[in-house]
Chains A and B, each alone.
Chain A
Amino acid sequence: MGSSANKPELIINGKRTDGRDFNEMRPFSIKANVLKNADGSCYIEWGNNKILAAVYGPKEVMPRHMMEADRAIIKCRYAMAPFSSLSDHGRTGPNRRAIEISKVIKEVFENVVMLREYPASEIDVFIEVLQGDGGTRAAGITAAAVALANAGIQMKDLPYAISVGRVGDHIAIDFNMIEDNYSDSDMPMAIAPRNNEILLLQMDGGLDKAQVSKAIQMAIDAGSVITKAQRDALSEVYSNNVKGV
């Protein structure tokens, strides 16, 4: 949460900085199968976020000692490009923030991927943020789920992610960069839409229990719209293929 010193107004005439309502998401578009070499890929634009996700595998485990005889392992890299924010992000590889985010994203996909279908294998999930505008991990997870499906990886559900939080007295969804920096609380979540199980939950700032409940419900309610866009992106790829035959 940002400093209170030079905090900009986050609510103007009952609307948010970009004119949205508190329960309104930014416009977004999802396109699957955008990279030739990857086994599966996805490009997502979410507000001003531009993010690429790619999946390689199942493939041989490297290094060999990481191999699990009875299941696949998932490796995940989430990283922000040096030019992805107004400030320079550095070129020394993923920082501590990115390493933590990579870990919790990996755990999301370990939940949904049917790991035992791919014994002694590795599945790589790469998420590269080319342009960031708040909510990059959420948009990245939503894209990576599509990339996994595009790679033909068996999953028990197609997860999506969204960030929710608090601005003043309001619980709001899908923070942009300014809200991300100066809101009173931020809570990114990933959810399996089939049963609304929570796969990722991080939070900081300040919320009471009722606010947490409201925010979780808001993230669950956002599922139908996001899930439909993910599925549409996938069916577009395969319906085109049929036409091409």
Chain B
Amino acid sequence: MEAIDVVKTNYVKELLNKKAREDMRQFMQYRNVSITTGTMQNAEGSAQVDLGNTRVICGIKMIVGEPMPDTPNQGNMMVAAELLPLASADYETGPPSPEAIELARVVDRGIRAAQSINLESLFIEEGKVWSVFIDLYVLNYDGNLFDACTLAAMAALMTTKVPKFEDGEAKREDRTKPLKIDTVVTSTTFGKVGSNLLLDLDRNEENASDARITIAIDDANIRAMQKGLRGSFTKEEVETLIDMAFQKRTELKRALEQASK
């Protein structure tokens, strides 16, 4: 860590001990969430999410492919995340880092486990299905990529139009049919700094944090969880944070529904 980061980390910790955050937020308060859909015309679906200064875009491409052998009547979905070097001095060029892989896989698990995409609707004909590629590009990193990426993926999926399939190929000029979305999944990520539990950490808070937990839910159930970093949580803390995730879902879901109207 650079010297300036050590100073910032100590500052964040001192503030938290006085029950304050640098941007005056409550401990369980999100930064401003802004979602714009249809930002890229060539993609089948797209969205930009700004969560404070964190900016992520998501592009959806739909490719005609083969079904998995054990699910011949279902399409496929794939999530990839790029921590672009232009997004932060913390990132470098090269193959996907373990952080990028973890991010993509956690977003994937939430969407997959909640059965957000109706995969049966992606069946074309025997041996042919649509594969949905969900590509997440981090353009500016200021913490909490997990929630920003899940929001961006959901917003893009909710506004995706499936290309027409004609004469054995995809006709992208004719995209009118909306992708069938069954469930809106939301992700809520908490951090632990010392004994303080926080929602939606920015970069400096993440650098100061000991542990992280992401809880992806639908209206009734927990669909995916991932604990990260070297710190730990107690059973009681996990229970408290699950309750909080359901509380916070309302505002995230409303933002998604408004953006995808």
Contact = CB atoms under 8 A, between A and B. Distances in A.
Contacts of B230: 107, 110-111
A123 B70 CA distance: 41
Given A1-B113, A102-B98, A207 B226 contact: no
Interface in A71-108: 96-97, 99-100, 102-104, 107
B242 A209 contact: yes
Nearest to B245: A209
Interface string B213-240: 1000000111111111111111100110
Interface in A175-210: 187, 192, 196-209
Interface stretch (A8-16, A141-149, A211-219, A234-242): A211-219
State which size class the interface on A falls in.
Answer: 35 or more
Contact of A208 (B70, B71, B220, B231): B220
DSSP majority for the A interface?
mixed
Contacts of A212: 222, 238-239, 242
Interface in B87-125: 98-99, 101-102, 104-105, 109-110, 112-114
Interface string A11-30: 00000000000000000000
Nearest to B224: A204
Interface string A134-154: 000000000000000000000
B235 A196 contact: yes
A107 B238 CA distance: 18
Nearest to B239: A213
Nearest to B218: A206
B101 A201 contact: no
A245 interface: no
B226 A202 contact: yes
Nearest to A186: B113
B115 to A, nearest CB: 9
Among B101, B233, B239, which residue has the most Cβ atoms of chain A within 10 A?
B101
Contacts of B225: 187, 201-204
Contact of A100 (B102, B112, B234, B243): B102
A197 B242 contact: no
Among B99, B220, B224, which residue has the most Cβ atoms of chain A within 10 A?
B224
B112 A204 contact: yes
Contacts of A96: 101, 104-105
Given A103-B98, A103-B102, A212-B242, A204 B109 contact: yes
Interface of B: 70-71, 73-74, 98-99, 101-102, 104-105, 109-110, 112-114, 213, 220-235, 238-239, 242-243
Given A107-B228, A209-B243, 5 more contacts: A3-B71, A5-B71, A111-B232, A199-B232, A203-B224
15 contacts: A1-B113, A2-B70, A3-B74, A5-B73, A104-B227, A198-B232, A198-B233, A201-B226, A203-B222, A204-B113, A207-B222, A208-B222, A209-B242, A212-B242, A213-B239
Interface of A: 1-3, 5-6, 96-97, 99-100, 102-104, 107, 110-111, 187, 192, 196-209, 212-213, 216-217, 220
